[in-house]
Homo-oligomer: A and B are copies of this chain.
Amino acid sequence: MTAIKQQHPIGVGLVERQYVTWTEPLPLDGGAALAPVTLAYETYGTLNEARDNAILVLHAISGDAHLAGWHSSTDRRPGWWDAMVGPGRAFDTNRYFVICSNVIGGCQGSTGPSSIDPATLVAGQEARCYGPRFPIITIGDMVRAQIRLIDHLGITELLAVAGGSMGGFQALEWATAYPSRVRGAILLATSARSSPQTIAWNSIGRRAIMSDPRWRGGDYYGHEAPSDGLGVARMVGHVTYVSEVTLEAKFGRTFQSRDAPHFTLLPEFEVESYLDYQAATFNARFDANTYLYLTKAMDYWDLAARYGSLDAALSQSRARFLLLSYSSDWLYPTSESLLIADALRQFKRPVEHVEIASTAGHDAFLIDHELKRPIVTAFLESLMAG
């Protein structure tokens, strides 16, 4: 740990994944219930005596509870938002108690389709994973499980919830469904609903997975995984996360062989091997069924539908909002943030919206830190000040 701390002097250092399990069924929006429910989570910093310095960070589709720090000295990378979390960082662990949990439906420690289906825990039978028998979950269900975690940690009111993309969906759900439990909401590169275009991309990814023969109707555990299907799904997703400017700057039309074309059906361009690499690394860490369930949860996301309108939905909230959108994000463009900000302003809810100039596309919220750091820092300080 010392070595790591020296290498990353202001980070949170070594961290451990924790777990909490409830046997009481978790009711789901689709009508089913889930039991038992386990959430994997990590925490950074210390909960103060007043218990008013807790921040819950919500992850996007490919994220997990490992927000910051290192699990071991041999890790090649720290948690997914490490640059934002630690002593002196925007989510300053000297001041705040920062929590991040893997969503239900996930594949990084929380109950999901790759978890053992308790219905198969019968004497004389082989226990089986849920697979396609896992119930459909929604953003509301994810947050309902997180409420249990916050209760478990003894926190009545969160100083803030924060999340980008699908994490932003959850932050919006927190602020509107549980207004008394959230003082501030930080939404990055997100939207109050999935557009038909985002549903289309998700649907293509699902079709790629479900038509991979190795998907086996969802019961592939113990066999080869449907890596071709998940690979294609990830490639589609990845292109939607980056901007054309980024692809142009990083790869342009450079051939893999750095000289001339080989005139072959195989990949020729660097941008193609880059996507192949994205597919391979995603397959190494992600479960295809989780991809199906989380994209479904995203598709169902439509905050306005439950309340009749976006105005009605956001009028529920009592939180102060910080919205960050990115100029080159074409998946969740600034116009989506403006819809949320405008609705909040109608009800005189305090809201700050900043469009950050970036060429990094949707991924900007995960990688472009310089401009958002001072904005998030100031917003959290103002929340703490009351």
Name A's B-contacting residues (CB within 8 A): 29-31, 132, 135-136, 193-197, 199-201, 203-204, 206-208, 210-213, 218, 228-229, 231-232, 235-236, 239, 244, 247-248, 250-253, 261, 263-265, 267-269, 271-272, 275-276, 279, 292-293, 296, 299-300, 302, 305, 330
Contacts and interface: CB of A to CB of B under 8 A. Distances in A.
Contacts of A271: 196, 199-200, 203
Residue among A31, A228, A330 facing the most chain B CB atoms (10 A cut-off): A228
Q: Please report whether the interface of chain A is mostly helix, strand, loop or mixed according to DSSP.
A: helix
A204 B300 contact: no
Contacts of A210: 265
A246 to B, nearest CB: 9
Contacts of A239: 197, 200-201, 204
Given A132-B265, A265-B206, A248 B195 contact: yes
B265 A196 contact: no
A41 to B, nearest CB: 26
22 contacts: A31-B263, A196-B244, A196-B248, A196-B250, A196-B251, A199-B253, A200-B247, A200-B275, A203-B235, A203-B271, A203-B272, A204-B232, A204-B239, A206-B265, A207-B235, A208-B232, A210-B265, A211-B231, A232-B232, A263-B300, A265-B293, A268-B299
A249 B271 CA distance: 33
Residue among A197, A229, A250 facing the most chain B CB atoms (10 A cut-off): A197
A280 to B, nearest CB: 12
Given A199-B253, A247-B195, A248-B196, A204 B236 contact: yes
A207 B204 CA distance: 13
**In the complex, the 4 A-B pairs of residues with the closest C-beta atoms, listed nearest first:** A30-B263, A211-B228, A196-B247, A136-B263
A279 B244 CA distance: 26
Nearest to A304: B253
A195 B247 CA distance: 9
A199 B252 CA distance: 10
Given A136-B263, A236-B236, A275 B195 contact: no
A291 to B, nearest CB: 11
A253 B196 contact: yes
A269 B299 contact: yes
Nearest to A243: B197
A12 to B, nearest CB: 36
Given A197-B244, A211-B231, 13 more contacts: A196-B248, A196-B252, A197-B239, A199-B272, A203-B235, A204-B239, A207-B231, A207-B276, A211-B228, A211-B232, A218-B265, A263-B300, A268-B299
